[in-house]
């Protein structure tokens, strides 16, 4: 250290000079000259002492500065640690308080049972294929009548429920590059007002026409739904909606191409909405075979797996015709809702469809297994009697309602159910849900319940060129 200080101050050179002068002084006989040498040596020693003192002072200040830096750093670290600890405690306290409030609020809500009326429809193609005739196509009707025309006859039903869910088949886009497939459907993004103006709150996007004009057309459709405030779900996108304080989980699965290979996706998506807090879970499938009136083994297997995994209701579509309903472990699987607001055909041979409604009662113990349903027989066209589709789905009345309901019940009886029972569809003409059960009849005089009025279904198997009968174009 001393050598370092000596180098820093130049003391080594001074020492050498002092030694030389001392030797000169000892060898010098001239008293006056010796005295001068001693004076110079004294000056050198004073300078050495002064420099050493200055350097030591600077070194001391440097040490003090370093010490202060470490002390200050330590204080900052301690303060930071204390602040983080306090913030963590406060955050945890706030979170616990919020959780307590939420739990208290949830429990207080569930002290009184909450009823949710959910409504489901089949395929909605809000647009047309560019190769279809313009004057009888969906887009021409939009230009003539505007967005509120299409769902005018069912709007009151949708507005009276708590949640309406449709299958959004087709795209809402301005893209012009059509995929190379037999049928590709698109409408203008503004067509989303058809749904928004009629209290449709959610749309399944997992189907074989959601990408008809490429990936951009799919993104455009999602954007249009977002702009209208309509929730979308399907494929790997799930949704959890808050409806009257109850979290409703929505899962959409596209089965046509992978069939039972979609089992893992189904399980993962149900687990996902559970993790997101869903108290009521609905699974929507786009599955089955077109024009087939009986669900295939892929449908029954996946539908039952969905229930086993925690779904409270399963609904499906794609066959373009109605299929039956199965009650499995106290929960319903509606295999095909058929078409609904359907721009895919201007004159289909089978225009029968339905609106499926189910009322769920949730209390402190969970969802009651009371199976309260209301099946509303409909036609996809208010001009069905005239033999063409005017794209205005309409509830059936009188003998027509009886016929369509009978068709649903007959097709339900064709299903080889896991539990050996048959679902009996009931329609309340006052649009109030009523209990449905297996092999039981309704007692209320407002309810139409018949199993013996099934219509002749032979014409349901004949489709014209406007149907997409080739599943090979599945996305």
pLDDT digits (tens, 9 = 90+) for 150-200: 999 999 999 999 999 999 999 999 999 999 999 999 999 999 999 999 999
Residue pLDDT, tens place only, 43-88:
777 777 777 777 778 878 888 888 888 888 878 777 766 666 555 5
Cα separations (Å) of 274 from 2, 95, 240, 368? 74, 21, 9, 18
Q: Is the pLDDT of residue 442 over 50?
A: no
pLDDT at res. 453? 37
Q: Which of the pair, 260 or 419, is modelled with greater confidence?
A: 260
Task: Report the candidate in 227, 252, 226 with the shortest Cα–Cα distance to residue 239.
Answer: 252
Looking at per-residue confidence, does 43 or 339 come out higher? 339
SS3 163: strand
State pLDDT tens for residues 9-51: 556 666 666 667 666 766 666 777 667 776 776 777 777 777 7
**Tens digit of each residue's pLDDT (9 = 90 or more) over 115-139:** 999 999 999 999 999 999 999 999 9
Give the pLDDT of residue 60.
Answer: 81
Supply the DSSP symbol for 475: -
Output 419 or 444, whichever has higher pLDDT: 419
pLDDT in the model for residue 34 = 66
- Amino acid 79: pLDDT: 74
pLDDT for residue 428: 77
pLDDT at position 475 over 50: no
Structure tokens at 373: 């349903």
Following CA atoms 361, 363, 369, 372 in sequence, which dihedral angle do they give, to the nearest 10 degrees?
-10
How far apart CA 405 and CA 305 sit, in angstroms, is 27
Average pLDDT over the chain, rounded to an integer = 83
pLDDT at 98 over 50: no
Q: Are 251 and 283 in contact (CB under 8 A)?
A: yes
For residue 250, is pLDDT > 70? Answer: yes
pLDDT at 439 over 60: no
Query: 274-325, pLDDT tens digit by residue?
Result: 999 999 999 999 999 999 999 999 999 999 999 999 999 999 999 999 999 9
- Tell me what pLDDT residue 27 has: 65
């Amino acid at each position: 250290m001393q050598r370092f200080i000596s180098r820093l101050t130049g003391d080594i050179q001074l020492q050498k000079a002092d030694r030389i002068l001392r030797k000169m002084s000892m060898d010098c006989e001239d008293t006056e000259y010796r005295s001068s040498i001693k004076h110079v040596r004294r000056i050198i020693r004073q300078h050495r002492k002064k420099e050493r003192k200055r350097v030591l002072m600077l070194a001391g200040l440097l040490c003090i500065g370093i010490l202060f830096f470490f002390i200050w750093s330590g204080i900052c670290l301690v303060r930071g640690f204390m602040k983080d600890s306090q913030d963590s405690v406060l955050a945890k306290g706030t979170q616990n308080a919020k959780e307590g409030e939420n739990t208290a609020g949830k429990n207080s809500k569930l002290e009184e049972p909450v009823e949710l009326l959910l409504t489901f429809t089949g395929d909605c193609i809000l647009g047309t294929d560019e190769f279809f005739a313009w004057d009888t196509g969906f887009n021409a009707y939009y230009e003539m009548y505007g967005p509120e025309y299409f769902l005018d006859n069912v709007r009151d039903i949708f507005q009276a429920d708590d949640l309406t869910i449709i299958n959004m088949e087709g795209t809402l886009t301005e893209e012009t590059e059509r995929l190379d497939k037999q049928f590709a459907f698109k409408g203008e993004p503004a067509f989303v007002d058809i749904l928004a103006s009629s209290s449709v709150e959610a749309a399944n996007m997992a189907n074989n026409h959601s990408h008809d004009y490429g990936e951009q057309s799919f993104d455009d459709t999602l954007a249009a739904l977002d702009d209208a405030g309509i929730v979308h779900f399907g494929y790997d996108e799930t949704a959890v909606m808050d409806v009257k304080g109850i979290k409703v989980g929505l899962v959409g699965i596209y089965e046509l191409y992978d069939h039972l290979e979609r089992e893992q996706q189904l399980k993962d998506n149900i687990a996902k909405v559970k993790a997101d807090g869903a108290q009521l879970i609905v699974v929507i499938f786009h599955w089955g075979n077109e024009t087939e009136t009986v669900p295939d083994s892929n449908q029954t297997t996946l539908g039952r797996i969905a229930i086993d995994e925690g779904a409270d209701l399963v609904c499906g579509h794609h066959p373009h015709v109605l299929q039956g309903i199965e009650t499995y472990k106290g929960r319903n699987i509606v295999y095909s809702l058929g078409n609904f607001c359907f721009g895919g055909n201007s004159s289909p041979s089978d225009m029968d469809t339905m609106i499926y409604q189910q009322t769920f009662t949730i209390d402190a113990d969970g969802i009651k297994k009371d199976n309260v349903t209301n099946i509303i027989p409909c036609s996809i066209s208010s001009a069905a009697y005239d033999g063409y589709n005017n794209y205005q789905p309409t509830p059936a009345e009188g003998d027509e309602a009886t016929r369509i309901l009978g068709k649903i019940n007959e097709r339900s009886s064709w299903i080889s159910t896991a539990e050996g029972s048959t679902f009996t569809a009931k329609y309340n003409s006052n649009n109030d849900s009523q209990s449905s059960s297996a092999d039981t009849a309704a007692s209320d005089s407002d309810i139409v319940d018949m199993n013996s009025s099934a219509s002749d279904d032979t014409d349901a198997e004949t489709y014209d060129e406007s149907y997409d009968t080739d599943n090979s174009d599945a996305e």
